[in-house]
Amino acid sequence: MDYALDITLTVNGTQVSRRVAPRQHLVDFLREELGLTGSHVGCEHGVCGACTLLVDGEIVRGCLMLAVQANGCRVETIEGLSDSGELREIQTAFHRRNALQCGFCTPGMLMAAQDLLKHHPKASREEIRLHISGNYCRCTGYQAIVDAIEEVIYGKG
Amino acid sequence: MGKAELPLHAPGTQVDRGYIGQSVPRPNAQRLLQGRGVFIDDLRFPRLAHVAFFRSPYAHARIKRLDFSKALKQPGIIGAFDGRAVAEYCTPWVAVLAHLKGIKSPPQHAIAIERACSQGEACAAVVAESRSQAEDAVALIEAEWEELPVVVDMEESLQGNTLIHQDLGDNVCFRRELDTEGVAAAFERADAVVEDTFHFGRHTGVCLEGRAILADYNAGEHSLTVYHATQAPHMMQDIFSRHLNIPEANVRVITKDVGGSFGIKVHVYPDEMATAALSVMLRRPVKFVADRLESFLSDIHCREHRVKVRLACSKSGEILAFDLDDLTAIGPYSVYPRTSGIEGNQVVNLTGGPYRHREYRARMHVVFTNKNVTCQYRAVGHPIAVALTEGIVDLAAKKLGMDPAEFRRRNLIADDAYPYTFPSGIKFEKLSHHQCLTKLLDVMGYQKLRDEQARLRRDRIYRGIGLAAMIEVTNPSPAFYGVGGARISAQDGATLRLEPTGMVTVMCSVTEQGQGTEAIFAQIAASAVGVSIEKIKVITGDTGVTPYGGGTWASRGAGIGGEAVLQAGRALRANILEVAAAILKLDRQELDVQGNHVINRLTGEQKLPLSELGRVAYFRPDTLPPEFQSELTVTRHYTPRQYGFAFTNGIQASLVEVDADTGFVRLLGHWCVEDSGTVINPMLADEQLRGGIVQGIGAALYEECLYGPDGQLLNGNMADYLVPMAGEMPDIVCAHVETPTRQSQLGAKGVGEAGTAGAPAAVMNAINDALAPLGARVTRMPFTPERILDGIAQARSRA
């Protein structure tokens, strides 16, 4: 594992360059090399969605993409999207509806929710449920999350 | 309107409402929403070492030789250790309790010595500068094994032809029998007897955050600071102290944010004890986080019961007696320190619990197997007790041709019958089964759903409605663990401190895993002191800071910790008034605290902001009378005593549609009416119910740890072990009846486990109701499409 590659990518608007092992996952790179611990590692086999990130504007599993594959890409994490205000509306709805308990799935869930709002701004309740079905939450039972997303779409009080 | 005209107390309680009963959003959720919570794996320490475990590939095997020579040559390796090396620093444990008479279990070590008794048991530890280096080295450990006979089937274990632990003499960990002695006569005189056998699959918690621990030993002061994703920091402080031989005062346990627990993170895990021991051995911080595959193999599993149950009733539908025989398998060890005898014990205590019959017989065996250990997971025993009670009750109603709701109405303990002692010996202070049933039928539109069901059946659309009445253990007294010798606190404490700025800091021994503990403590504290909620800062999860207490388990946080906060808040308010009287030179009887001010009790006139009171008390006490000393930090504790538990009650309903061709179950609706006493935060209470219900649905429909005959876990990953996802889950309607417990002034009982307790039964009964026209019946959870199709096929072949 001595072999390493140089990568340069933009993370939350800042260009970073690092030498990384080819086997390192993108989410491990963000957490271990950059200290961006908001993206969580839940299963490491692409099922739970806790590590969901934005790469060039699309949501990806941070545990199914290697750091070297992100060379030259634009990566955004929960920290960056929180500071830019991009997630403010959905974060506020999650807070008001208590659409989170332990908070471990929440960054990934917010990414998935925001992706739905962007690509399918008039999604039905059923479509909301299907869209977030790649993100596992053990605490809430999902209803409050669906309610929060619906609230952003339809402004339900 | 003067304050005197407003109701001072909620019915039956002594709480000034204030924020009690309001759906306040959780202040501590903000950091989690920004990804700025701090879970154990998010901590960064200098000289942090990482441990990975070499785990047994066999369910039962003797460790003949371990060779670390290749592993030790790998880059970044700090050391490799076997069970004997770790045992020098960490003593073994035996998980028994005195009040579970006859329970037995062998000594268990942090790292297995000589013999592995289940697949995944840690047999060596490798410590390295990074987790990946440690894992690479683990793969290079060479081991020589001698495979031993494997017992995976619990009936076979009970027969005892092959012993797992020779020294114990048989494979029985614990047995219990209970008999009111009139059972045979009751069955004799019964007009109808029904019986069935129910099977409950072994499943597990699947917390999204794996178990996590970072132990940091300081050799200079022989102290250990443990950052630990645990529900019970003081219990763990005691355990680290005793097993690592470090004075208790030198051990500090800090939880940080915990990514789900549900009972998974309230036990002592060998690999976590090993991590703490390694920190002592290596004199540096060591971290272990269970990855997903390790979690499936080594987080406690639960359930795995086979229960035969019989019910006797009269032709008018009066239940006369229950008779049950429960067999449950727990893996090779009883889990420390709570034991693995509790779940079966709860099944015996609780089965039949909502009903009026006076005759009850139960027999229960807990046996060892060579699978992973099982122990207390959310709702402990309740899902089993409720499912077999409600499953057999439905069968009785069917046999009598009676509507299941009406059958329950005839048998539920009357709302005016309390206090009440159930035949198993448990005592109910006050329950509200009939109010809850009436409310449930109303909320769900029961009759309309029945009409719709009948109409759709004509079109061969198979819908079913399932009911599940329940009782639940909450607010446990020392009778739960303490009397058995476990050093697990039944009491909790809260310290409240008025800060100079008028803020109030609350420190409480109950912990937060996302259920909203800190939010409700803020509500209670703000109400009790008389300040607005944004003035409250809550600190939990640090044995170095909070009063001593039990933590979070058995639905105890709100009822026990909440009462401690309430009492501390009242005491602080009284002390604030002493200071105010000294500053204002007024009689304290004329004063009160409201809206962050000291006010005139009668006129409501604001006399002094708390920020000014704090300034004087802390910085200018020279201006107060010389004999006066302010006391603006107070601590209060609370222990439930008079009853063993503050039982709650409730009832759930499920509406499903079963596809008779595919065996798929579609969940169309779910309802829950719960009486958990005073509801502190309706939104959070509902969310506890919903989350719990979905976990119960997981057990009913999807979740099972499948083992092969060789004791190998077949589906230990998230792709193969199915959990509920948003697409399959129904919307869940919650409603409440409030019967406050009079054992505390807050009146709150627990709400965290009710959903999980009742949902499997409601879903099972709904499925069987749907299958009734096909003559089919299923009793083996989880109800996979395969099992449902099997049930339909069997019914067809019978016909």
Per DSSP, the residues of B427-479 read EES---HHHHHHHHHHHHTHHHHHHHHHHHHTTT-EEEEEEEEEEE--S--TT
To the question of pTM greater than 0.90 for the whole model, the response is yes
**Which one, of B496, B512, B555, lies nearest residue B753 by Cα?**
B555
Number of cross-chain residue pairs from A and B with Cβ atoms under 8 Å apart? 172
**Confidence at residue A157, expressed as pLDDT on a 0 to 100 scale:** 52
Strand (E) or helix (H) holding B78: strand B77-82
Cα separation, A132 vs B33, in Å, equals: 17
Which tokens hold the place of B620? 């200018």
Check whether residue B563 and residue B621 sit in a common domain: yes
Strand (E) or helix (H) holding B213: strand B212-218
**Confidence at residue A2, expressed as pLDDT on a 0 to 100 scale:** 66
For the domain bounded by A87-154, which CATH number is listed?
Answer: 1.10.150.120
Length of chain B in terms of residues written: 799
Cα separation, B341 vs B387, in Å, equals: 19
Instruction: Give per-residue pLDDT as tens, B272-283.
Output: 999 999 999 999
State residue A18 phi and psi, 5-degree precision: -150, 160
Contacts of A144 in chain B (CB under 8 A): 687, 690
Cα separation, B506 vs B569, in Å, equals: 9
Cα separation, A140 vs B596, in Å, equals: 34
Check whether residue B129 and residue B216 sit in a common domain: yes
Which of B9-23, B189-203, B509-523, B638-652 has the weakest average pLDDT? B9-23
State residue A53 phi and psi, 5-degree precision: -130, 170
Question: Does A136 contact B at CB distance below 8 Å?
Answer: yes
CATH number, domain of B58, equals: 3.90.1170.50
Sign of the alpha-carbon torsion through B413, B419, B421, B427: positive
Cα separation, B546 vs A157, in Å, equals: 38
Q: Mutate one of A41, A44, A143, A151 to test the B interface: name it (highest B CB count within 10 A).
A: A143
CA angle B2, B3, B5 (to 5 degrees): 75
**Confidence at residue B16, expressed as pLDDT on a 0 to 100 scale:** 56
Contacts of A82 in chain B (CB under 8 A): 33-36
Residues 22-61 of A with CB under 8 A from B: 23, 31, 35, 37-45, 47-48, 50
Q: Assess if residue B156 is contained within a domain.
A: no
Which tokens hold the place of B99? 């009040």
Instruction: Give per-residue pLDDT as tens, B430-488.
Output: 999 999 999 999 999 999 999 999 999 999 999 999 999 999 999 999 999 999 999 99
**Which one, of B726, B730, B722, lies nearest residue B783 by Cα?**
B722
DSSP SS3 for B52: strand
Question: Does A138 contact B at CB distance below 8 Å?
Answer: yes
State residue B463 phi and psi, 5-degree precision: -105, 150
pLDDT at B744 over 50: yes
Instruction: Give per-residue pLDDT as tens, A92-108.
Output: 999 999 999 999 999 99
Strand (E) or helix (H) holding B787: helix B785-798
**Confidence at residue A62, expressed as pLDDT on a 0 to 100 scale:** 98
Cα separation, B707 vs B150, in Å, equals: 12
Q: Mutate one of A25, A128, A138, A140 to test the B interface: name it (highest B CB count within 10 A).
A: A138
**Confidence at residue B11, expressed as pLDDT on a 0 to 100 scale:** 41
Determine how many CB atoms are found less than 10 A away from the CB of residue A34: 16
Q: What percent of chain B has pLDDT over 70?
A: 98
Check whether residue B754 and residue B693 sit in a common domain: yes
Which residues, 6 or more positions from A23, have their beta carbon under 8 angstroms from its beta carbon? A1, A66, B132
pLDDT at B13 over 50: no
Which residues, 6 or more positions from B344, have their beta carbon under 8 angstroms from its beta carbon? B174, B176, B305, B326, B328, B364, B365, B366, B381
The mean per-residue pLDDT over the stretch B260-266 comes to 97
Check whether residue B788 and residue B772 sit in a common domain: yes
Cα separation, A61 vs A46, in Å, equals: 6
Beta-strand relationship, B462-472 and B648-658: antiparallel
Q: Assess if residue B325 is contained within a domain.
A: no
Last residue of a domain, one of B272, B298, B324: B298
Q: Assess if residue B166 is contained within a domain.
A: no
**Confidence at residue B8, expressed as pLDDT on a 0 to 100 scale:** 37
pLDDT at B236 over 70: yes
Check whether residue B102 and residue B226 sit in a common domain: yes
Strand (E) or helix (H) holding B194: strand B192-204
Cα separation, B413 vs B419, in Å, equals: 11
Contacts of A78 in chain B (CB under 8 A): 34-35
Q: Assess if residue B366 is contained within a domain.
A: no
ipTM of the complex: 0.98
Alpha-carbon distance A5 to nearest alpha carbon in chain B (angstroms): 17
Cα separation, B404 vs B446, in Å, equals: 11
Check whether residue B45 and residue B31 sit in a common domain: no
Length of chain A in terms of residues written: 157
DSSP SS3 for A126: helix
Given a contact cutoff of 8 angstroms between Cβ atoms, the answer to whether B758 and B572 are in contact is: no
Q: Assess if residue B749 is contained within a domain.
A: yes
What are the beta bridge partners of residue B147? B61
**Confidence at residue A3, expressed as pLDDT on a 0 to 100 scale:** 87
Sign of the alpha-carbon torsion through B576, B581, B587, B592: negative
Which tokens hold the place of B675? 């009486």
Which tokens hold the place of B431? 């329950």
Q: How many domains does one find in chain B? A: 3
Contacts of B41 in chain A (CB under 8 A): 31, 37, 41
Q: Could you write out the three-class secondary structure of B252-270?
A: EEECCECCCCCCHHHCCCH
Domain that holds residue B734: 380-474+644-798
Q: What percent of chain A has pLDDT over 70?
A: 97
pLDDT interval class at A50 (50, 70, 90): very high
pLDDT at B680 over 50: yes
- B201-229: buried (b, 16+ CB within 10 Å) or exposed (e) per residue? bbbbbbbbbbbbbbbbbeeeeeebbbbbb
**Which one, of A108, A101, A98, A97, lies nearest residue A134 by Cα?**
A108
The mean per-residue pLDDT over the stretch B610-636 comes to 98
Instruction: Give per-residue pLDDT as tens, A108-157.
Output: 999 999 999 999 999 999 999 999 999 999 999 999 999 999 999 998 65
pLDDT interval class at A54 (50, 70, 90): very high
**Confidence at residue B790, expressed as pLDDT on a 0 to 100 scale:** 98
Cα separation, B489 vs B506, in Å, equals: 20
Check whether residue B708 and residue B732 sit in a common domain: yes
Amino acid at B186: A
The mean per-residue pLDDT over the stretch B556-584 comes to 98
Q: What does pLDDT average to over chain B? A: 96
Check whether residue B626 and residue B539 sit in a common domain: yes
Check whether residue B112 and residue B143 sit in a common domain: yes
DSSP label at residue B678: S
Q: Assess if residue B134 is contained within a domain.
A: yes
Q: Assess if residue B352 is contained within a domain.
A: no
Last residue of a domain, one of B245, B269, B298: B298
Determine how many CB atoms are found less than 10 A away from the CB of residue B401: 7
**Confidence at residue B799, expressed as pLDDT on a 0 to 100 scale:** 86
Q: Domain limits of chain A?
A: 5-81, 87-154
Cα separation, A17 vs A9, in Å, equals: 7
DSSP SS3 for B392: helix
Cα separation, A104 vs B614, in Å, equals: 38
What are the beta bridge partners of residue A8? A17
Cα separation, B646 vs B474, in Å, equals: 5
Alpha-carbon distance B281 to nearest alpha carbon in chain A (angstroms): 26
Last residue of a domain, one of B612, B638, B664: B638
**Confidence at residue B17, expressed as pLDDT on a 0 to 100 scale:** 66
In the block, tokens 């051990």 appear at B251
The mean per-residue pLDDT over the stretch B81-109 comes to 98
CATH number, domain of B568, equals: 3.30.365.10
Alpha-carbon distance A8 to nearest alpha carbon in chain B (angstroms): 23
Contact across the interface for B683 and A98, Cβ inside 8 Å: yes
Cα separation, B321 vs B318, in Å, equals: 9
Contact across the interface for A141 and B291, Cβ inside 8 Å: no
Q: What percent of chain B has pLDDT over 90?
A: 97
Check whether residue B101 and residue B249 sit in a common domain: yes
Given a contact cutoff of 8 angstroms between Cβ atoms, the answer to whether B172 and B224 are in contact is: no
Contact across the interface for A143 and B731, Cβ inside 8 Å: yes
Instruction: Give the fold, CATH level 3, of A5-81.
Output: Ubiquitin-like (UB roll) (3.10.20)
The mean per-residue pLDDT over the stretch A13-24 comes to 97
Contact across the interface for B26 and A98, Cβ inside 8 Å: yes
Check whether residue B393 and residue B442 sit in a common domain: yes
Check whether residue B257 and residue B405 sit in a common domain: no
**Which one, of B666, B697, B667, B663, lies nearest residue B774 by Cα?**
B663
**Which one, of B204, B295, B52, lies nearest residue A45 by Cα?**
B295
Question: Chain B residue with minimal CA distance to A107?
Answer: B35
Question: Does A103 contact B at CB distance below 8 Å?
Answer: yes
Alpha-carbon distance B386 to nearest alpha carbon in chain A (angstroms): 21
**Which one, of B468, B447, B444, lies nearest residue B671 by Cα?**
B444
**Confidence at residue B5, expressed as pLDDT on a 0 to 100 scale:** 36
Contacts of B32 in chain A (CB under 8 A): 100, 102-103, 106
Give Cα separations from B302 to A134, B204, B376, B430, B791 (angstroms).
Answer: 26, 6, 7, 30, 25
Give Cα separations from A35 to A77, B8, B285, B382 (angstroms).
Answer: 12, 51, 18, 42
In the block, tokens 């606190």 appear at B489
